[in-house]
Amino acid sequence: MDWQRDLATWPHSAHSRRLYHAPHHWHVQEMGSGPLALLLHGAGASTHSWRDLMPLLAQSHRVIAIDLPGQGFSRAGAKRRLGLTGMAEDIAALCEAQGWQPDLIVGHSAGGAIALELATRLMTPEGRPPDIACLNAALGPFEGVAGWLFPVLAKLLALNPLTAALFTLGADKVTRARRLIESTGSRIPPEGLTLYGRLIADRAHVDGTLQMMAQWDVAPLLDRLSTIPNRCLLITGARDLAVPPDTSTRAAARLSCAQVVALDGLGHLAHEEDPARILAMLTDSANWPG
């Protein structure tokens, strides 16, 4: 996405700023005051995914949302660092450089995996591990044929310089966005569809997403879930067709301090479908373990 051309009509652009911390140029949005909450979107999205939840959470928190490297308005300075570990290391370094000490990290889908990867890399101002909230977190390996086909296909696509251009051509972008989102079990307002349509029409964003997919490997994180001491809340949407809800149930069983909350009637983009309901999940202590 182009900063000059696109930002002015992007949600909460008045709260946007650009930061450089090697190796990436970061797009950051910030609002509110209080304990710090760091928001991490999923693959192929951007800060816009939090457009309705962010101001609600900002009533009680200082909220910082970032675009992942290579996606949205963030520019990747090193494409080889767009996998799970590389992104987590670079986000942790950004937080340290900026003096950000989150009390809460909220991640959606792949952002949930990044949040857990950050769990022991960041500390609150009091020196304790931050709370981690995962929304329909992508914490499972791909099953069956997809287990070997998807990584190979993603790598081939990412290596082809024409791929991003081909992905951004063709059918109406909003129609394509609607089909994609409905395939995850979610229905979101027209404004959201338009924003996703703009993203999938942007070659740099598509390329960054494909690079992330090509480098994605969640297996090492899954192997050490039991070593994560943080309080973890795993929120699932019963209608999620992208990440089966039992993925979070299995992950919670391996975490040392975790609780799963299932929400009826919501799909993969639960926080965009019903942000007030997600806010209640995050802010009600009864939903958290311990």
Over residues 112-167, the pLDDT tens digits come to 999 999 999 999 999 999 999 999 999 986 555 445 545 555 555 555 555 555 55
181 compared with 104, residue with greater pLDDT: 104
Give the 3-state secondary structure of residue 156.
Answer: helix
Segment among 153-162, 239-248, 264-273 with least mean pLDDT: 153-162
Mean of the per-residue pLDDT values for the chain? 91
Report the C-alpha gap between 86 and 220 in whole angstroms.
13
Which domains are assigned to the chain? Answer: 3-283 (3.40.50.1820)
Q: Tell me the pLDDT band of 177, cut-offs 50, 70 and 90.
A: confident
Residue pair 104/130 in contact (Cβ under 8 Å)? The answer is yes
Over residues 33-62, the pLDDT tens digits come to 999 999 999 999 999 999 999 999 999 999
Report the C-alpha gap between 192 and 41 in whole angstroms.
14
Give the 3-state secondary structure of residue 150.
Answer: helix
Over residues 85-125, the pLDDT tens digits come to 999 999 999 999 999 999 999 999 999 999 999 999 999 99
pTM: 0.93
Q: What is the DSSP letter of 13?
A: G
The DSSP annotation for 44-84 comes to T--GGGGTTHHHHHTTTSEEEEEPPTTSTT-B-S-GGG-SH
